[in-house]
Structure 1
Amino acid sequence: MQQQSTAERVAALLLAFGQRDGEDLGVSDLARATGRERSQVSRMLHALERGGLVEQDPRTRRYRLGWSLLVLAAGAGDAALLRAARPVLRKLVARTGEVALLSVQRGNRSLTVLREESSQSLRAGGWVGRSSPMHCTASGRGLLFDSDDDLVEALTADDLLAPTHGLAAPRDLGELLERLDTERRRGYAVASEEVEIGLTSVAMPVRDPAGELIAVVNTSGPTSRLITRIDEAVLRLRAATSALEGALSRVP
């Protein structure tokens, strides 16, 4: 797996707070959430505290996001989409037993913006803030459903040349376009063993009231569990995306 830069490690640490609905978190909690050593996390937290981006409760010694960061975040992202998606993802996890994620397109990447955990899986799928190639992930290909061939080529050209993806990933533009054509017709994308060995994901687009593709909902889990339950996952995803689109249609 590609090593994270310092900026990516700090971003993952900050985004871990968003998974716990404002709950104060200890160093051990954050180390588990980010897959980092406690000493690394502690050093990053001290630096972020000096910058006003996190605050430590003097009594419990646990951390929360600082006001400076919260003020900056108030104007970022699509708050209505995130609010509507959280209960939908929770219900999806309850019904599938697998991790559920919401992803959006940022440049030529699929960006995970919301994640709900499953008790059955520790790290399946992307963490919040992780960006992934679009050609070899279910979320990425789901986000490409409305893109014409020229745009697909532009968004994936660099990544198709990368030798770091799984053997099941599309190897050239022709193979990618064939796979996309099949997935568009059936209305969902499946990526199994493409970006990570042992991982299978199923994704379905979410559209706003005007019909624009704005996000995808994705369920991910170990291939050994999920590969034989694709049809069930599709039914659950269809219900989830329908519920999310309905909620968005009621937003003033």
Structure 2
Amino acid sequence: MQTSAERVAALLLAFGEGGAGSSHRVSDLARIVGRERSQVSRMLHALERGGLVEQDPETRSYRLGWSLLVLAAGAGDAALLRAARPVLRNAVARTGEVALLSVQRGNRSLTVLREESAQSLRAGGWVGRSSPMHCTASGRALLFDSDDDLVAALTADDLLAPAHGLAAPRDLNELLDRLHAERERGHTVASEEVEIGLTSVGVPVRGPAGDLIAVVNISGPTSRLVTRVDEVARRLRAAASGLEAALAQPHRASPSGTTRTSSAPAQPGLTPDGRAT
């Protein structure tokens, strides 16, 4: 059973569905979090009094409040998010599909950045959504540096109670076989695993010290992506390399006193946003 704090956290994370700055009706939020509309309405009123959400007086829909957005601006790895945004935008432009950046939080893959595509039919996680590691492209890519014992520990709970697509790994042996093959290829593919009709491709991103810090991911309807996996994986490898090059750049002070990344590419042949030169 969820605690009160967990229910509030789930409600705030639900605002990530639909993209940053989006508004939601009470009924939509209730559906997302799986709660009664009256319960969600009471929580929203309390959050509004605290300045964490705001209600539009005309539409009666809710959006995140400025107080929460200011707090969020200082959260996470600002350098990673700043460098990743143009990389994801370029990946969207080249593939036509949603691009995401995910990091590991405990035994989950957490989406921290999303760039939309122009396609009318789109798929993929929203910012703030956490997903199991065994049956998602981002999750398995985050496991690339984990030994088999750690993989078992991180995925044990989800493998014991699977509730995912028909193609998800059914046990640890199947997961390890899939993960070992994906390590050799350098990218992961999860098709019809976490959600029927969804295919995702993931490539790990490494920090300047060589440690695995994030995953870039392209997600879309299986009908569009399943025949383009090799092409998408190639685009994502270029995107990951571009992001790694941007993160390796020394930071210098700008005239305003903030820091910024040098515009000169550190890796020959790639710009910091993953485009070939």
Report how far residue 8 of structure 1 moved.
1.6
2:246 maps to what in 1?
Answer: 247
SS of equivalent residue, structure 2 residue 125:
coil
1:152 is displaced (CA, Å) by 0.3
% identity of equivalent residues: 76
Provide the C-alpha distance between the structure 2 equivalents of 1:201 and 1:77, rounded to a whole number of angstroms: 24
Q: Which moved more, 1:120-129 or 1:233-242?
A: 120-129
Question: Radius of gyration: which is bigger?
Answer: 2
Partner residue of 1:174?
A: 173
- Is the contact made by 2:162 and 2:170 (CA closer than 8 Å) also made in structure 1? no
C-alpha deviation, 1:105, in angstroms = 0.4
State the partner residue of 2:12.
10
Shift of 1:54: 3.3
Look up the SS of the partner of 1:228 in the other structure: coil
AA aligned opposite 1:7: A
Aligned position for 2:89: 90
TM-score (norm 2): 0.76
1:100 maps to what in 2? 99
TM-score, with structure 1 as normaliser: 0.83
Query: Relative to structure 1, is the Cα distance of residues 233 and 54 closer, same or farther in structure 2, using a 3 angstrom cutoff?
Result: same
User: Structure 2: which 5+ residue stretches go unaligned?
Assistant: 1-5, 252-277
Structure 1 segment 183-194 matched on structure 2, within 5 A: 183-194=182-193
Aligned pair count?
241
Aligned to 1:126: 125
Partner SS for 2:227: helix
1:58 & 1:170 partners in 2: Cα distance? 47
- What is the root-mean-square deviation of aligned Cα atoms in Å? 3.1
Shift of residue 6, structure 1, vs aligned partner: 5.5
Judged with a 3 Å threshold, the aligned counterparts in structure 2 of structure 1 residues 121 and 35 are, in CA distance, closer, same or farther, namely farther
Pairwise CA distance, 1:178: 0.9
Aligned residues of 1:99 and 1:219 also touching (Cα < 8 A): yes
In the TM superposition, what are the counterparts of 1:160-171 in structure 2 within 5 Å? 160-171=159-170
Distance 1:74 1:171 in 2: 39
CA contact (8 A) 2:23 2:61 kept: yes
In the TM superposition, what is the alpha-carbon distance from 1:147 to its structure 2 partner? Answer: 0.2
8 Å CA contact 1:103–1:112 kept in 2: the answer is yes
Consecutive unaligned residues in structure 1, runs of 5 or more? none
Q: Evaluate the alpha carbon distance shift between residue 158 and residue 53 of structure 1 in structure 2; reply closer, same or farther with a 3 A threshold.
A: same
Select the structure that is richer in helix: 1
